[in-house]
Amino acid sequence: MKSQGKPGREAIISKGWFRAHQWLISRRFSQLFILMLFLAGPWFGWWIVTGNLSSSLTLGTLPLSDPFVLLQAIAAGHWPETAAITGAVIVVVFYLLVGGRVYCSWVCPVNLVTDAAFWLRQRLGIGGASSLSRKTRYWLLAAILLVSIVSGSIAWEMVNPVSMLHRGLIFGIGFAWIVVSAVFVFDLLVTRRGWCSHLCPMGAFYSLLGTRSLIRVRADNRSACNDCMDCYLVCPEQQVIRPALKGADKGIGPVIDSANCTNCGRCIDVCAPNVFHFGLRFNNQNSIGSADANHSSHSSGVEIS
Amino acid sequence: MTSTRPKPNSGASGSPGRRQFLKDSGRTLGIVTLFALGLGIYSRQSHSLPAEALRPPGALEEDDFLSSCLRCGLCVRDCPFDTLDLAKAGDDVSVGTPYFTARDVPCEMCDDIPCVAACPSGALDKSLVDIDEARMGLAVLIDHENCLNFQGLRCDVCYRVCPAIDEAITLEHRPNLRSGKHALFIPTVNADHCTGCGKCEHACVLKEAAIKVFPLELARGKPGEHYRYGWEEKNERGSSLVAPDREHRYNLPSGQSYDFDKEGLIFEEETNAVTPFASDPLKTLNQGLEQAQ
């Protein structure tokens, strides 16, 4: 059954509007709430969190640092002080548990920009196949670390749209809006989900971080799939769904195991037959709808393409 | 679907798939190489810091600073005087790094140095515990022609506002050659004590400050490594580095001596020295005439 019109219409009919948007709403709330925590200080004088996503201090005690920025500093030849290392370790442990790219879909301010670009792209019916490989971001990640080593500076942070936007919103945007607009235009006109799902080396870093994360989207109820394709249409990393959703015959378990999955949960929202749900990575048995018990212990492994 | 990566067995044989894969890989590699080169060049260019932009106290040397600053702005937030700012994209300062402009807001030199305490990465060095040891830059009285004190006026504002008054800035007396009878009080910066806080530049009464704080590498000259000042070496060792002069011998006619320090040329009158010259020069000339006859 091919769904008509906007993806998720069936889900709205069968589950109601709120349940068909619950993870999207939660995600927007999370993104804006975290942004407001940072903005409450400069805007209202409520200094709950100071700093920005690169490094921050919450309530004057809890240090949090972006491990990717710290990795660049180390590559550039500077061993940071304890505060930054402690902050980065806390962040790393958190994302090891909840999924690295949770950062991308629940925290990163650029996601609001690229989601808006994607929404507009769909509305305007802009199509066209991308010629970009989704692996490009990993190459960019490697190149950035190499440039840091060679140039001895945190070079990427001079152009990184993610930190530029977040820092700009808090400390004054300057010309960073041009960089952010470039990301928007790129996603709108050039490549579907171009920045977040093809280029962003920060996302690539968090992907690698979340390779073995605990919390995953699971397609345990995959036998109920009615092939409406809505999950593919909304997913920013379409390639991650197929193995879990359609892999029962090949002995692949129901856990969406790719590190590129951002745990955004939009597939859960738009699925009328409730195929997906958030769960743990364990019990990835090919039991539901399994035709071949011999493959039941097979894990799909990590896929970062 | 956006990825054009073909399935491994999409072609009739494996060959077209592999060719496509190599083509795609080559393109990706090309994009990434261009990106890396561009980023490398851009990062090199961004290493230059405009002269009026000063780093917070305790900042590492600029290259090290750029490798260690996380661009988080915690130092900016903890500055009680809103001196510091994070460079915005489009500013001349490397984007996201903290700096201040002395003419706008100078550093107030807090005793507890909250900006350094706030830094999570060590880009602001925590070994700086005494703000007087900070070297954010060095004040330079750069425009002698417009500085009011150089005109013989008693402006003195830079000297008065200096947190290390009479140490970092002293007033040196010079004769006022214009009036012929007054003194000039020349504000003079002593690098041993100047922290580069910029209060002098901020306070200068001129429309454009005559005294400015510059980064140390711009503000300071540097003698060659082999340069030695004789008087300093002499103080250190108690004697001159070079061999002492032999006592000078004046080749004076007998009966005369020379006292360098006091009296100058001395005629020893008690000995009646016979000179080859008579007191009357004509006599001498006539002497020669008599001999010829």
B204-213 per-position pLDDT tens digit:
999 999 999 9
Nearest to B74 among A51, A129, A164 (CB): A51
Tell me the C-alpha distance between B1 and A131, whole Å: 11
The verdict on a CB contact (< 8 Å) between B73 and A77 is: no
What mean pLDDT do residues A274-303 have? 60
pLDDT tens digits, one per residue of B137-185: 999 999 999 999 999 999 999 999 999 999 999 999 999 998 888 999 9
What pLDDT does residue A130 have? Answer: 67
What pLDDT does residue A33 have? Answer: 94
Answer whether residue A193 shows pLDDT above 50.
Answer: yes
Nearest C-alpha in B relative to A191: B2
Residues of chain B with pLDDT > 90: what percent?
48
pLDDT tens digits, one per residue of B231-274: 888 888 887 777 776 777 788 888 888 887 788 888 876 655 56
Tell me what the pLDDT averaged over chain B comes to: 85
Nearest C-alpha in B relative to A232: B1
The verdict on a CB contact (< 8 Å) between B67 and A77 is: yes
> Regarding predicted confidence, which is higher, A283 or A232?
A232
pLDDT tens digits, one per residue of A234-251: 999 988 888 888 888 888
Mean pLDDT is lowest, of A50-64, A67-81, B71-85, B226-240, for B226-240
Q: Which residues of A touch B120 (CB under 8 A)?
A: 55, 57, 63, 65, 80-81, 83-84, 87
What pLDDT does residue B275 have? Answer: 65
Nearest to A55 among B3, B70, B87 (CB): B70
HEC string of chain B equals: CCCCCCCCCCCCCCHHHHHHHHHHHHHHHHHHHHHHHHHHHHHHHCCCCCCCEECCCCECCHHHHHHHCCCCCHHHHHCCCCCCEECCECCCCCCCCEEEECCCCCCCCCCCCHHHHHCCCCCECCCCCCHHHCCCCEEEECCCCCCHHHHCCCCCHHHHHCCCECCCEEEEEEEECCCCCEEEEEEEECCCCCCCCCHHHHHCCCCCCCEEEECHHHHCCCCCCCCCCHHHHHHHHCCCCCCCCCCCCCCCCCCEEEECCCCEEEECCCCCCCCCCCCCHHHHHHHHHHHHC
Answer whether residue A5 shows pLDDT above 80.
Answer: no
Dihedral in degrees, nearest 10, Cα atoms B52, B53, B58, B60:
-110
| Cβ contacts of A62 within 8 Å, gap of 6 or more | A90
What pLDDT does residue B109 have? Answer: 94
Nearest C-alpha in B relative to A49: B74
Answer whether residue A302 shows pLDDT above 90.
Answer: no
Residues of chain A with pLDDT > 70: what percent?
91
B127 touches chain A (CB under 8 A): no
Tell me the C-alpha distance between A109 and A33, whole Å: 11
Tell me the C-alpha distance between B81 and B85, whole Å: 11
Tell me the C-alpha distance between B47 and B94, whole Å: 7
Of the pLDDT bands very low, low, confident and very high (cuts 50, 70, 90), residue A290 is: very low
Of the pLDDT bands very low, low, confident and very high (cuts 50, 70, 90), residue A286 is: low
Of the pLDDT bands very low, low, confident and very high (cuts 50, 70, 90), residue A212 is: confident
Whose CA is closest to B4, among A103, A128, A117?
Answer: A128
Nearest to A175 among B47, B90, B120 (CB): B90
The verdict on a CB contact (< 8 Å) between B120 and A84 is: yes
What pLDDT does residue B102 have? Answer: 93
- Please state, as a whole number, how many other Cβ atoms lie within 10 Å of the Cβ of residue B167: 13
Nearest-neighbour CA in chain B from A186: distance (Å)? 14
Answer whether residue A300 shows pLDDT above 50.
Answer: no
Answer whether residue B230 shows pLDDT above 60.
Answer: yes
Q: Which residues of A touch B43 (CB under 8 A)?
A: 147, 151, 153, 155, 158
What pLDDT does residue A294 have? Answer: 39
Nearest-neighbour CA in chain A from B209: distance (Å)? 27
Answer whether residue B80 shows pLDDT above 60.
Answer: yes
pLDDT tens digits, one per residue of A29-69: 999 999 999 999 889 988 899 988 999 999 988 999 999 99
pLDDT tens digits, one per residue of A134-187: 888 899 999 999 988 988 888 888 888 999 999 999 988 888 889 899 999 988
Tell me what the pLDDT averaged over chain A comes to: 85
Nearest to A84 among B70, B85, B89 (CB): B70
Nearest-neighbour CA in chain B from A10: distance (Å)? 22
Answer whether residue B286 shows pLDDT above 80.
Answer: no
What pLDDT does residue A303 have? Answer: 41
Whole-structure pTM value: 0.78
pLDDT tens digits, one per residue of B180-200: 889 999 999 999 999 999 999
Q: Which residues of B touch A152 (CB under 8 A)?
A: 63, 66-67
33-62 of B, contacting A, C-beta below 8 A: 33, 35-36, 39-40, 42-44, 46-47
68-107 of B, contacting A, C-beta below 8 A: 68-74, 76-78, 85-91, 94-96
> Regarding predicted confidence, which is higher, A237 or A286?
A237
- Considering Cα of A298, then A301, then B1, then B6, what sign does the dihedral take? negative
- Please state, as a whole number, how many other Cβ atoms lie within 10 Å of the Cβ of residue A277: 15
Whose CA is closest to A184, among A124, A116, A137, A238?
Answer: A116
